[in-house]
Each structure stands twice: as structure tokens, then as C-alpha cells.
Chain A
């Protein structure tokens, strides 16, 4: 099935990863991996610990440099770009543990992520005008933090910090959103709210999610990719993947 996909016009894919390999002192964390994400698709990557899931995200967003292979985003080669250039191209990345600015307020966190004045001169002359304020409030409402705008970010609960980070990505309006375990450490109600949030925000963008929570995966995924030892083990709908004997072997075999 992968083979046939490859010959379909590549323009349909927002992201196409081909032959991606990275090795750390001989250990291949990701090996000859290929992955294609369509527009407005929610793709979930699952796999046992050490399968290379986070490394794949790191490679796409430029945090780790690939040893071999190519990553094309809307036809642009990402492997030679810096992190901020990749962000400018339209990719947003959320980390596994909430990565927010704890010394700043929720408002400032969102404001800093607002995609304007991103070079030195722009940052010096940036003004907090009505447009910025409106956008911040809009996003804050979306991530359930409208009443906490003036709170220092380190006072938020763990789940709220996860939301804030998602909000910081949303305000950039990326075409591809990459989320690393967005519901880890959340309560049940927070988890449901997050699922609803994800459904809402994926209307006009593609999303790449790493997640362990199978219920959550089933709730949101269009398609699922299973990684094992740096390689794609299986790919397809949740149902198909769940019934793949290779997957069962890996997850339950030992």
C-alpha cells in the first residue's frame, strides 16, 4: 500500500518523509523511515518505548539533524533548515513535558508566540496593539484559560500548562501541528476537553500526534503509524493496526 501511495502525486501530502535515518554513535534511532501525512489528517504515532517516536518529531522540526533521507513539507526540504525557519514554514511542535515560560504570565506566553516581530528589529519595535490582544483572548478562550490571562504561568496546573503550550502553537496558526503526548498526566475530564479541543483545531490543518493512551488515540486518529526499533511496523486505520499480528507481537509478545 505504501508503494502505491508513493506514485500518487506528492502534492496531496503536506509532509512526506522518505528514507529518514539518524544514528547516534552507530545506534540507529530511526532507520530508513518513510511517512506521508495528508492535508487535514490527524495522524497518531504509537509504539513501545525507544521506538524512535520523539526522535521522528525532533527530526521533522529540526531539533535533531538527519544522517540520511529527506523531509519535505509542502515541497520544501526541511533537513537543511533551522528550527525557526521550519516554524516559519508552518510547523508547530509541542513537547512531551509542558514547555512554557514559567517566569511570564499566560498573556505574555501567548503574546510571545504571536507570529509578528520575529527578528531582532521586529521584537524591538513590536507593539501590543488591539489585533494582538484580540488574538490572544481568542486563543485563550479556546484553550480554557481566558480567566487566567494575568496569572503567572508556573501557577497553572499540569493540564493547563499543556493547554497553554497548545495555545502557543495555535496562535502561530501552523499548517502542521506536532504534539508529543498531549494528554499525559491529565485528569479524565481534562482529557475529554483536550480531545474536543483537538477536534476543533484540526479543522484546517494536519496534526501529527504521539500518544500512549489507546482510548484517546481511537477518539482522534484518522490513521495510525506504529513504530518499532526506528522502523515503521504497521500503518493504517486504528482497527487495522490493532489487528495486525506484527503489532500484537510487539506489544504483547513479551
Chain B
């Protein structure tokens, strides 16, 4: 019982349960598959937002190029699905049957070497994790070792996003160009376009999201999480406590990029195509705003942020498309200026304290570890559950 209580506290399980209830029970029951599929799409952005909470909220590393990793994950998955959709029987009318249609249009006569391994689903799954992680490592290792941070890092990630977009569009024989990779049909013979498939993929997406949430929570609760908070304000001190700061930054950035890539892969599966529009600067910045709206220090907040902003975008653009950009812009400015900790900040500072005690999270926000030292050495709290911490960060 104690152990369970401990888990509850440590992972904010009650909050997780509410989210799970919402995503697994309430939404699927109250929505048709069209809307639910949309929710599934929003959730793929939530993966990116969760990653941003880790690397931006906790690590202080703002990346304006998360779309790059979303895209890499998505493209890996899309390459596999496209190869399956381009079987020689399906593409018999082409000059070269058996290669994707856009390659045929671009006069390629054989599959490029880097496409070959994507015939294997196992390799594809590995690639979805490893390719973005490797890419993130290459991009960051030089910079973090040389202590490039903050604004400079943000601008360089932006440039990386620009480079990759131009490359993908320019090398259309290999990548599908600006159209992206479209018309994906089956996964191991299973038609991913049917309603049943959409339901199943939605639940897979939710399950993976919770896996990422738990990994994120674990990282934040670990000493590494506290080190990130420490690094954000006193990088030198961390270094002089004997930690290789760059290694931690590289790790958290790679982790965030892997989360983004999983989101991208789930996007491809649920929506049925992948295109370079995700890799660019604009979607990358939008993903930052999902995270900011939800609260840059709250993993769960990031999920709600992604859901709410996108739901608002969809409903707004159905009724007043012109107003949408105004609303979006105002949202950016408002959140940054008035609520730097987003919805989660509003919740912990304004709403939660007024709730009856039993509705609050199991660990009262004021609990801090030394209580653990004197009473039960097991309990602990997370930085995100501590409103003073968040509030103070707002002023930094």
C-alpha cells in the first residue's frame, strides 16, 4: 500500500489517470472516428511537446527545429509503408515496377541504397528511434561541447530545419519532394485506412504517449531531472560539482528528439502521409507554443496544450479562418507574457489551492524532500509539483 501511494505521488498517478480516462474512455465514446482520428493527430504533436518540456522547460535548451525529428521519424515510417504500397504488382504500370511512384516519375530506375533496409519492419522501428537520436547527437555534440546555448542554439536549429526542408524538396527523386510521401496503404498487409485500423492506431498512439510520459516522469524524478533544473540556473556550479554538463544536455536533447520521432511515426500511420511541411520552421515553432500553452514545466500540461491549441485551431478555422491567426498570435503573446508556465501554472497557482484537500494531488505542493529525510525516506516530490519553484522560474 505504501509502495502504491509512493508511486501515486511520484508519478502524479491521479493526474495521469484522469488523462488516461479522458483519452481512453471519454473521447472514444463521445466522438466518431473522424474526430477521434483528429485527436490522434493532435496527440502526435503532444509527443513533441513532451520532449520540449524535457529539453526546454527542464534543460533550458530551446529548439526551434523539433519538426526535423518529427519529420525524420515520420519519414522512416513512411518509407517502409511506401515500399509496401509499391509492390511490383501495385506498380505494374510504371516504367520500373516495384519502386515508389515518385521515383518512377523522376526517372529513377532502381531503389536508392538507403531505401533498401526499409523493406524490413524491424529495421524501420529501430531507425525511427536511432536515426533521429543520431542526428540529434551530431547536431548537438559540437555545440554543447563548445557551450553554445540559448538563443544561438535556437537559431542554429532553425537553420538546420531550413536546410533539411530545402534538401528534401530539392531531392524529390529520393524523398518525394514537396508532395512528400503519399498514398500509404497497408502495414504488413493490414489496411491502415479503415475505421477499425484508425481506432487501433489511436489506442496504440495513446499507449505510446503514456510510455513517453512515464519515461519523462522518471527522468524528471531522477537525479538527472534535478541536475537539469540546477544547470538551468547555475551551469558552472554543476560543472564544478564534477558533472559533464554537455553530456546531460546531449542526452536530454536526444531523448526529446526520439519522442518527437515517435510522434512523427504515429502521425504517418494515422494520417497516411508525410511531407516536408512538418520539417520546416513554422510547424517547429508551433510545437513550441503547444508546450508553452500547456506549461513548459509540466509533461501532462504539454499534452493538454497540444490538444487544446489544435482543437481550437480546428474549430476556429472552420468558422472564422481569418481570425485564427490573430487568435494564435495573441495566444503566443499572452501565454509568454502573462502565464509563462501555461495551463499547468494556472492550475497549480490558482485552481489547485482552492480545491478541497482530497481533490488535490497526493503530494501537497509544499512538500519538499527533507520531510522525506525526517519521516519516510521514500517520498519525494517533483519540481513541477512545487509552485514556488515554477513561480520563481517565471521571473528569471
A and B touch in the complex (CB under 8 A): yes
Q: Which residues of A contact B (CB under 8 A)?
A: 61, 63, 82-84, 87-88, 92-93, 95, 99-108, 111-113, 115, 117-120, 123-126, 128, 130, 133, 136-137, 149-152, 154, 168, 172
* 10 A-B pairs (CB sep. < 8 Å): A84-B239, A87-B239, A101-B233, A101-B234, A103-B229, A112-B241, A118-B242, A120-B224, A125-B222, A130-B377
Which residues of the partner chain B approach A92 to less than 8 Å between Cβ atoms?
240
Nearest CB in chain B: distance from A164 CB, A: 11
Nearest CB in chain A: distance from B340 CB, A: 14
Q: A103-B233, A154-B392 are in contact. Are A115 and B242 (CB under 8 A)?
A: yes
Q: How far is the CA of A154 from the CA of B396 in the complex (A)?
A: 13
Q: How far is the CA of A130 from the CA of B248 in the complex (A)?
A: 26
Q: How far is the CA of A220 from the CA of B339 in the complex (A)?
A: 50
Q: A102-B233, A150-B369, A154-B392 are in contact. Are A133 and B227 (CB under 8 A)?
A: no
User: Secondary structure at chain B's binding surface: helix, strand, loop or mixed?
Assistant: helix
Which residues of the partner chain B approach A126 to less than 8 Å between Cβ atoms?
222-224
Which residues of the partner chain B approach A108 to less than 8 Å between Cβ atoms?
226, 369
In the complex, the answer to whether B224 meets A84 with C-beta atoms within 8 Å is: no
For the complex of A and B, list the 3 residue pairs with the smallest distance between their C-beta atoms, beginning with the closest: A150-B370, A87-B242, A149-B370
B71 at the interface (CB under 8 A from A): no
Chain B: interface size category: 35 or more
Nearest CB in chain B: distance from A120 CB, A: 5
In the complex, the answer to whether B368 meets A152 with C-beta atoms within 8 Å is: yes
B373 at the interface (CB under 8 A from A): yes
Nearest CB in chain B: distance from A169 CB, A: 8
B6 at the interface (CB under 8 A from A): no
Nearest CB in chain B: distance from A168 CB, A: 7
Which residues of the partner chain A approach B393 to less than 8 Å between Cβ atoms?
103
Q: A101-B234, A102-B233, A118-B243 are in contact. Are A123 and B369 (CB under 8 A)?
A: no
Query: Which chain B residues in 191-237 approach chain A with CB under 8 Å?
Result: 218-219, 222-224, 226-227, 229-230, 232-234, 236-237
Nearest CB in chain A: distance from B382 CB, A: 12
| Apart from A99-B234, A105-B368, A124-B219: 9 A-B pairs, beta carbons within 8 A | A83-B236, A87-B242, A107-B369, A112-B230, A115-B242, A120-B224, A133-B373, A149-B370, A152-B389
Q: How far is the CA of A188 from the CA of B322 in the complex (A)?
A: 67
Q: Which residues of B contact A (CB under 8 A)?
A: 218-219, 222-224, 226-227, 229-230, 232-234, 236-245, 247-248, 251, 368-374, 377, 380, 383, 388-389, 392-393
Q: A101-B229, A103-B393, A124-B219 are in contact. Are A149 and B373 (CB under 8 A)?
A: yes
Q: How far is the CA of A117 from the CA of B227 in the complex (A)?
A: 11
Which residues of the partner chain A approach B232 to less than 8 Å between Cβ atoms?
103
In the complex, the answer to whether A101 meets B222 with C-beta atoms within 8 Å is: no
Tell which of A103, A120, A133, A168 touches B377, judged by Cβ atoms closer than 8 Å: A133
In the complex, the answer to whether A88 meets B242 with C-beta atoms within 8 Å is: yes
Which residues of the partner chain A approach B226 to less than 8 Å between Cβ atoms?
104, 108, 111-112
In the complex, the answer to whether B233 meets A87 with C-beta atoms within 8 Å is: no
In the complex, the answer to whether B370 meets A107 with C-beta atoms within 8 Å is: yes
Nearest CB in chain A: distance from B58 CB, A: 11
In the complex, the answer to whether A128 meets B377 with C-beta atoms within 8 Å is: yes
Nearest CB in chain B: distance from A219 CB, A: 26
In the complex, the answer to whether A93 meets B240 with C-beta atoms within 8 Å is: yes
Nearest CB in chain B: distance from A128 CB, A: 7
Which residues of the partner chain A approach B372 to less than 8 Å between Cβ atoms?
128
Which residues of the partner chain B approach A117 to less than 8 Å between Cβ atoms?
223
Q: How far is the CA of A63 from the CA of B377 in the complex (A)?
A: 37
